């Protein structure tokens, strides 16, 4: 799994603020079939350049924007362990991932960032014998 980070800038009350998102994806797949990562993007993008606008309710320039141009090349990946070891949840892996995530948060704090918001989601089939899924957590930082 992957972790994606983005940086954005905003002007509020004549005070400049900078925002950064770190995404953590932890795989719940047996036997090391998944990939778990913390990803920190080093690329600043202008979202307006990729926006599409409807002109008459159905026409937009959506097809003008190529998917390849949306993919960022410059990013840092920190490998994490799988949460599921093939038999059960691996609490050692959970503890190891917690240590890596804590290290990343602490390094962001040392760089002057403040952790302002955290959100988590889970993707899983949840049917019979469903041992596949991901846990995605986004850490929102500002300074």
28-57 tens-digit pLDDT? 776 667 789 999 988 887 777 777 766 666
> Looking at residue 32, what is its pLDDT?
63
2 pLDDT tier (thresholds 50, 70, 90): very low
Higher pLDDT, 63 or 103: 103
User: CA 19 to CA 143: how far, in whole Å?
Assistant: 7
Polymer length of the chain:
143
> Looking at residue 59, what is its pLDDT?
64
Q: Please give the average per-residue pLDDT across 98-124, as a whole number.
A: 95
Half-sphere exposure of 118 (CA within 13 A, CB side): 8
71 pLDDT tier (thresholds 50, 70, 90): confident
């Amino acid at each position: 799994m992957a972790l994606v980070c983005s940086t954005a800038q905003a002007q509020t009350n004549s005070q400049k603020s900078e925002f950064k998102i770190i995404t953590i994806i932890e795989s719940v797949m047996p036997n090391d079939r998944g990939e778990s990562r913390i990803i920190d993007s080093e690329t600043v993008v202008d979202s307006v350049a990729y926006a599409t606008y409807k002109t008459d309710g159905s026409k937009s320039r959506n097809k003008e924007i190529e998917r390849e141009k949306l993919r960022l090349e410059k990013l840092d990946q920190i490998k994490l362990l799988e949460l599921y070891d093939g038999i059960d949840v691996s609490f050692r892996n959970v503890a190891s991932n917690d240590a890596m995530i804590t290290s990343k948060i602490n390094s962001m704090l040392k760089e002057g960032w403040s952790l302002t918001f955290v959100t988590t989601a889970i993707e899983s089939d949840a049917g019979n014998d469903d041992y596949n899924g991901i846990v995605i957590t986004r850490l929102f930082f500002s300074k």
